[in-house]
Amino acid sequence: MDFRDDPAEAAFRGRFRAWLADHAPTGPAPLGGEARARFWSAWHRDLYQGGWMGLSWPTEYGGQGLPAVYEAIFNDEIGAAGAPPAPHVGFLGRALLHAGTEDQRRRFLPGLLSGDEVWCQGFSEPGAGSDLGALATRAERTDAGWVVNGQKIWTSDAAWADWCLLLARTDPTVPKHKGVSALIVDVRQPGVEVRPIVQSNGDREFNEVFFTDATTPLDHVVGAPGDGWTIAMTTVAYERGPTDVGFSSRYARVVADLERDAAGLDLDPGLRLDLARAHVQTAVLRAHVLRGLSARTGDAAPGPEGSIDKLLSTRTEQILHHATMDLHAAGALQGAQPGVVAEYLYSRAASIAGGTSEIQRTIVAERLLGLPRG
């Protein structure tokens, strides 16, 4: 048992840390609009040109062919540096690597990796959030291609995306999870309209996306028609482990900043304990995600344990932002700490996005504890 890097990992970490010191953007990402798009695009291209994208992808598609732990170290260092999170290409890449055709991989993976083409993920709908299987966006097969009608919501990055990996119902005659297909759809066509959603913290990360007789070629289905659900569920979980390591180092940095702000202040004793609790919780998350990462050997698909990790990560983020809000309370409420307030409000998304905490608890109860289905 060792909670540290092996020598090769440590060397890689050192190289990436040095690169980040020179290249990571400083200051927060702009909220919404063209500036936000430019910011993220530039960050993505910088990482790619530095040779840091697709570390665990096969070399024939532009990857580095390294073991998955290098993705974890990559995310770990980005979090520790307080750099913007890495572009979310992992899940999309997995979907194409696992289920795509050779033509699809050669056509789409290089642009996904380099940032030359921006992708979004069209899963949730107004009527299909936690009950994603109830999705109602339809894709009809015609001789000319698929014709898509419906609406997606909470679609990150859609406002400047080129492509969408879309879950759509292609067969309404079979049980709900079986009639879903994964389609690659051009977002920049007249039948697709994107409307940004203004979040409670002012950001415009998410969008509504409307499809009105939008089209895509027949060979833009990933896997067989009807496989969409399975592809989405098996590939989405892959990215959890490495991403969680990144969260843990990002939270550790937030805690360190918090402690720096608090050091030397005459604090209420209760607040001191709360700050110590935030420190403890963050260290606990780190120990746990490192153990979880070690438990995932080779290329095995992650199991329901990922739901424990997500619940723990959520707990940590929310405890942490209670602490930052409490430390800065008076100033934050008078408008002196916009960053603290924005981060706090955003922390409430942790228990909602990517599967609500209620959904995660049901998975833990039924699949890990073996309690009978409700």
Partner 1 sequence: VAHVALTDEQVMLVDTVGRIVADNAGAEHPAPPAEVTGAGAGPQGVDPDPVLWQALVDAGLVGIHLPESAGGGGGGAVEAALVVEQLARGPVRAPYLGTVLALDLLHRAGADDAAAAPLGGHATAITLDPGLRAPAAWGVAFDGAPDGPSVGLDADGRPVVAASAAGLDGFDLTRRLAAVPDAPTGTAVGAPLGADERTRWEAFALALLSADLVGAMHGALDAAVAHARDRVQFGRPVGSFQAVQHRCADQLVTIESARSTTWWAAWAVDALPPDEALHAARVAKAYCSEAGRTVCEAAIQVWGGIGMTWECVAHRYLRRALLDRQLLGDERVHLAAIADRQLGAVGAGTR
Rounded Cα gap, residues 319 and 330, in angstroms = 19
In sign, the C-alpha dihedral spanning 245, 251, 253, 255 is: negative
The answer to whether the CB of 81 falls within 8 A of the CB of 24 is yes
The answer to whether the CB of 173 falls within 8 A of the CB of 167 is no
Minimum gap (Å) between residue 271 Cβ and partner 1? 9
Q: Which stretch binds partner 1 (CB under 8 A): 134-142, 153-161, 213-221, 287-295?
A: 287-295
Q: How many CB atoms lie within 10 A of CB 106?
A: 12
In sign, the C-alpha dihedral spanning 140, 146, 150, 155 is: positive
Rounded Cα gap, residues 356 and 374, in angstroms = 17
Q: What is the DSSP letter of 183?
A: E
* Contact positions with partner 1 (CB under 8 A) in 67-106: 69, 72-73, 76
Task: Spell out the residues 6+ positions from residue 236 whose beta carbon is closer than 8 angstroms to its own.
Answer: 91
Minimum gap (Å) between residue 244 Cβ and partner 1? 12
Rounded Cα gap, residues 137 and 276, in angstroms = 47
Determine, following the binding rule CB under 8 A, whether residue 263 of this chain makes contact with partner 1.
Answer: yes
Show the site string, 313-352: x = touches partner 1 by CB under 8 A, - = not: --x-------------------------------------
Determine, following the binding rule CB under 8 A, whether residue 20 of this chain makes contact with partner 1.
Answer: no
Question: Among residues 14 and 202, whose Cβ is nearest to partner 1?
Answer: 14
Minimum gap (Å) between residue 272 Cβ and partner 1? 4
Pick from 283, 342, 345, 353: which binds partner 1 (CB under 8 A)? Answer: 283
Rounded Cα gap, residues 287 and 52, in angstroms = 25
Rounded Cα gap, residues 193 and 212, in angstroms = 8
Minimum gap (Å) between residue 291 Cβ and partner 1? 4
Determine, following the binding rule CB under 8 A, whether residue 300 of this chain makes contact with partner 1.
Answer: no
Q: What is the DSSP letter of 174?
A: S
Rounded Cα gap, residues 135 and 177, in angstroms = 9
Determine, following the binding rule CB under 8 A, whether residue 178 of this chain makes contact with partner 1.
Answer: no
The answer to whether the CB of 253 falls within 8 A of the CB of 79 is yes
Pick from 224, 294, 301, 338: which binds partner 1 (CB under 8 A)? Answer: 294
Task: Spell out the residues 6+ positions from residue 52 whose beta carbon is closer than 8 angstroms to its own.
Answer: 16, 19, 74
Minimum gap (Å) between residue 71 Cβ and partner 1? 10
Determine, following the binding rule CB under 8 A, whether residue 265 of this chain makes contact with partner 1.
Answer: yes
Question: Among residues 295 and 336, whose Cβ is nearest to partner 1?
Answer: 295
Pick from 267, 345, 349, 352: which binds partner 1 (CB under 8 A)? Answer: 267
Determine, following the binding rule CB under 8 A, whether residue 66 of this chain makes contact with partner 1.
Answer: no
Pick from 37, 66, 284, 349: which binds partner 1 (CB under 8 A)? Answer: 284
Instruction: Give how many residues touch partner 1 by CB under 8 A.
Output: 59
Minimum gap (Å) between residue 80 Cβ and partner 1? 12
Q: Which stretch binds partner 1 (CB under 8 A): 5-13, 156-164, 174-182, 329-337?
A: 5-13
Q: How many CB atoms lie within 10 A of CB 68?
A: 18
Report the catalytic residues.
Answer: 239
Point out which residues bind partner 1 (CB under 8 A): 1-6, 9, 69, 72-73, 76, 245, 259, 262-267, 269, 272-273, 275-277, 279-281, 283-285, 287-288, 290-295, 297, 305, 308, 311-312, 315, 358, 360-362, 364-366, 368-374
